[in-house]
Amino acid sequence: MKLIFRLLSITLFFCYLAGNAQKKVSLFNQKDLKGWYAFEPKTGKHTDASEVFSVENNLIRLYGKEVGYLMSEESFQNFKLTVEFRWNTDPTFVKKTDKRNSGVMYLVPTETPDELWPKGIQFQIKDKATGDFVLLQEVTLNVNGTNTIPGRSVSSKFFIDKEKPVGEWNTLVVTVRNGCVTQKLNGKVVNKGTEATVKEGRILLQYEGYPIDFRKVIIKKFN
d(CA 201, CA 219): 13
Ordered domains of the chain (ranges, CATH)? 23-222 (2.60.120.560)
187-206: b (≥16 Cβ within 10 Å) or e: eebbbbbeebbbeebbbbbb
Reduce the secondary structure of the chain to three states and give it as a string: CHHHHHHHHHHHHHHHHHHCCEEEEECCCCCCCCCEEEEECCCEEECCHHHCCEEECCEEEECCCCCEEEEEEEEECCEEEEEEEEECCCCCCCCCCCCCEEEEEEEECCCCCCCCCCCEEEEEEECCCCCCEEEECCCCCEECCEECCCCCEEEECCCCCCCCCCCCCEEEEEEEECCEEEEEECCEEEEEEECCCCCCEEEEEEECCCCEEEEEEEEEEEC
User: Which pLDDT score, from 0 to 100, does residue 22 have?
Assistant: 62
Residue 223 has a pLDDT of: 78
pTM for the predicted model, two decimal places: 0.89
- pLDDT digit string (tens) for the chain, length 223 residues: 454 445 334 433 443 444 445 678 999 999 999 999 999 999 999 999 999 999 999 999 999 999 999 999 999 999 999 999 999 999 999 999 999 999 999 999 999 999 999 999 999 999 999 999 999 999 999 999 999 999 999 999 999 999 999 999 999 999 999 999 999 999 999 999 999 999 999 999 999 999 999 999 999 999 7
Instruction: Tell me the C-alpha to C-alpha distance, in Å, between residue 213 and each of 29, 61, 122, 123, 128.
Output: 14, 5, 17, 16, 19
